[in-house]
Amino acid sequence: MTEEATPRSEVAIGGGCPMGAFARRALLQGAAAGLAGAAGGAVLGDGTELTDAVGSGQVRGKSRVIPMHGSHQRGILTPPQQDAIFLSCDVTAADRAELTELFRTLTSRARFLTTGGRPPGVSASSAPSDNGILGPTVVSDGLTLTVGVGASLFDDRYGLSPRKPAQLVSMTPFLHDDLDPALSQGDLLIQICADHRDTTVHALIDILTHTKSAMKLRWRIDGQRNPERPVGVRRDWFGFKDGIANPDTTNSAQVKQWVWAQPKSGEPDWAAGGTYHVVRIVHFHIEAWQKVPVADQERIFGRRKASGAPMYAVGENASDLLDPIYTNDPQGLITPLNCHIRLANPQTPDTAATSTILRRSYDYDRSPNLPELDLGHAFVCFQRELNTYIAMQTRLEQEALVPYITPKGGGYFFALPGVRDEKDYYARGLLT
Ligand code: HEM
């Protein structure tokens, strides 16, 4: 199995692109159907295993194992699971040896949690070795852990500054950001994704318990993937289909070009196979948005609200697989020049190098923050060059969506290359 691209059986995202560079969302339906139809104990084409999740002797359902080892981390090309926790941490390890130990511990916890199995037994008078949220046998449940490093880890604490990824910087505010320092930056980012909420919370508690001597929580954002309504692509809290246009994760050439850091490309040698990971916590002003007529909402995004189709397609059942086309619309009469999708990807020669990122966002709904709801986006994207994201986000400073969103936090990270086998551990190449 190659891990340069997601095999078809693992594909869940895609969409229309003018130059045909993006996957078709139809692949999603094929993947989902394949998964639903797989029998107990089945192994899908990419090595993803379906096992019976057994609780007190009874089969409760299927649990997916997404194998952790490989040249790239999982949770990047992996089709987004239902639930996610993004955990940003500050490292408190005293020195490089303790930092190495931290990465080794993270690796062994990730290996156990993503595989599943019986936690070690302890006597009845001792504290349990596992928090028990998943029952006596830990199920893998499609869990992936994706570990990244922030620019601050490369300060003078651990002697890592000569090894910093070439474009890794701390996130600085864009024009309309209102960044809360308590919700921003971090030495490490751990992205936890799984098929159910109990599995991500189980992993969160497990990881924090085993690493508390060497890192502490800085901020956290939890998200879910809304269902596809009525089909195809999930809707975000603004009611628009979100996630249509993305690179084709089954296409090795595309993921090589747009996602993975390549050897001898200006990045340190250890970084090949990793990728820049951006997380932004973006609050939605739902009340204000509700007052905007649908025709104007469509002109703000540049797509039809009901169907997700480009602006030139008017029928309610128009296909969202149609490609947005701007060549016959230089003045933006059909698709406004300052709408979201046209600024993100203007389809012009001078923006071609900075118009493709791999989006993998989640929707958040946090405790009520009266008088306004706190709904928003854990906006997530991966890209071979951080500068691609920065250029795109800079263009979006001019977008018509600005009054309806406020970015509150997040950060830039470099998702480490994969853990290759049983002997390997996260960040080995960086630390040795
Ligand atoms: C946080 C609020 C955001 C919302 C609600 C949002 C929503 C959407 C929606 C509804 C679409 C059209 C459907 C699709 O192709 O998926 C879209 C497309 C897109 N968005 Fe966003 N987005 C947000 C932030 C961002 C950010 C921060 C970026 C990058 C800096 C971004 C980059 C893109 C790109 C590249 C496309 C596809 C453009 C194309 O090729 O047609 N989005 N977004």
Is the model's pLDDT at 61 over the cut of 70? no
Work out the mean pLDDT of the chain and round it to a whole number.
89
According to the model, what pLDDT value does residue 44 have?
45
Nearest ligand 1 atom to alpha carbon 392: 30
If you average pLDDT over residues 357-373, what whole number do you get? 90
DSSP 51-84: EEEEETTEEEEEEEE----SSS-SSSSSPP-SEE
Secondary structure of 154-173 in the HEC alphabet? HCCCCCCHHHCCCCCCCCCC
Which residue CA neighbors atom 40 of ligand 1 most closely?
A: 345
Query: Residue 372: which pLDDT band, with cuts at 50, 70 and 90?
Result: confident
The preferred substitution site among 175, 341, 357, 387 for testing ligand 1, maximizing ligand atoms within 8 Å of CB, is: 341
Q: Helix 96-115 to helix 197-211 angle, to the nearest 10 degrees?
A: 150
According to the model, what pLDDT value does residue 112 have?
98
What sign does the dihedral 49-54-55-61 (CA atoms) show?
Answer: positive
Ligand 1, CB within 6 Å, residue ranges: 15, 17, 236, 238, 240-245, 282, 301, 303, 324, 340-341, 344-345, 357, 377, 379, 389, 392-393, 396, 405
How far is ligand 1, taken at its centre, from the CA of residue 76, in Å? 17
Return the closest-CA partner of residue 346 out of 11, 18, 13, 8. Answer: 18
According to the model, what pLDDT value does residue 153 have?
98
Contact assessment for residue 187 and residue 215, using Cβ atoms and an 8 Å cutoff: yes
The preferred substitution site among 19, 228, 229, 242 for testing ligand 1, maximizing ligand atoms within 8 Å of CB, is: 242
If you average pLDDT over residues 238-266, what whole number do you get? 96
According to the model, what pLDDT value does residue 13 have?
29
SS3 state of residue 283: strand
According to the model, what pLDDT value does residue 367 have?
82
C-alpha 123/C-alpha 12 separation (Å) is: 44
Q: Is 244 left (phi over 0), alpha (psi -120 to 50) or beta?
A: alpha
C-alpha 169/C-alpha 174 separation (Å) is: 14
According to the model, what pLDDT value does residue 119 have?
95
Query: Residue 12: which pLDDT band, with cuts at 50, 70 and 90?
Result: very low
* Span 117-152, pLDDT tens digits: 999 998 999 999 999 999 999 999 999 999 999 999
Higher pLDDT, 169 or 20: 169
Which of 6-10, 132-136, 175-179, 194-198 has the lowest average pLDDT?
6-10
* Span 296-350, pLDDT tens digits: 999 999 999 999 999 999 999 999 999 999 999 999 999 999 999 999 999 999 9
If you average pLDDT over residues 82-89, what whole number do you get? 98
Nearest ligand 1 atom to alpha carbon 396: 30
Query: Residue 49: which pLDDT band, with cuts at 50, 70 and 90?
Result: low
Taking the model in full, what pTM does it have?
0.91
Is the model's pLDDT at 221 over the cut of 50? yes
Q: Which residues are 185's β-sheet partners?
A: none
C-alpha 278/C-alpha 30 separation (Å) is: 29
Return the closest-CA partner of residue 419 out of 28, 120, 45, 146. Answer: 146
The preferred substitution site among 235, 348, 359 for testing ligand 1, maximizing ligand atoms within 8 Å of CB, is: 359
According to the model, what pLDDT value does residue 30 have?
33
